[in-house]
Chain A
């Protein structure tokens, strides 16, 4: 199974500051079609996860342009430019390359 490892944030983060959340995969997620199959989700407190970014850098419909994704085949970053109160929650990366689909352990964002 592909293991996904996420970094932590120095919580709480001041409102308006930009943050980067890191994720590493145990296997390259770059596929032969040129796409990198890494997705990002936000799970707000008491809610189900919502899709933010797919294929490493494509924003899902309706997602603010404050969120951006980047990376290589195994190292990935989700950047939030100017955190706001509504960004509070746990961020998960997930690999979509192969089964079983696997998630990182999550990165919690708290705002000051």
Chain B
């Protein structure tokens, strides 16, 4: 069974950074892309970027360049996202989601999401 298990909720101060994790199981991590997405309360879903589990190659939404950095640890089948210089606009739920193996693929499995709250 494919599973994406995200780390717990974070309360961080403005200007700080936070590292979120997405530990996977049930499939070959290095064969798939992982995406990260942002959902502010009651709002739309935004795609932040992709990372390939095989070689760590990344692609970012221009809007999030400089804000988010995606990495992977193949040995533990875990994807990470660093968010830097946090402001109130970064308070949101963040999801990791696997891109299926299909071409121009949909997000076929999602993590449970993690709430990040930026507050002093």
Contact = CB atoms under 8 A, between A and B. Distances in A.
A33 interface: yes
B59 interface: yes
Given A33-B103, A99-B59, A100-B62, A51 B108 contact: yes
B111 A103 contact: no
Given A48-B112, A51-B107, A54-B102, A100 B47 contact: yes
A41 B59 contact: no
B75 interface: no
How many interface residues does chain A have, given as a range?
Answer: 20 to 34
Q: Is the interface of A mostly helix, strand, loop or mixed?
A: loop
How many interface residues does chain B have, given as a range?
Answer: 20 to 34
Interface in A74-112: 92, 94, 96-97, 99-106
Contacts of A57: none
A37 B45 contact: no
Contact of B111 (A33, A48, A60, A104): A48
Interface of A: 31, 33, 35, 37, 39, 41, 47-51, 54-55, 60, 92, 94, 96-97, 99-106
6 pairs of A and B residues whose beta carbons are closest in the complex: A48-B110, A54-B106, A100-B61, A39-B106, A101-B47, A103-B45
Interface of B: 35, 43-47, 59, 61-63, 95, 97, 100, 102-108, 110-113
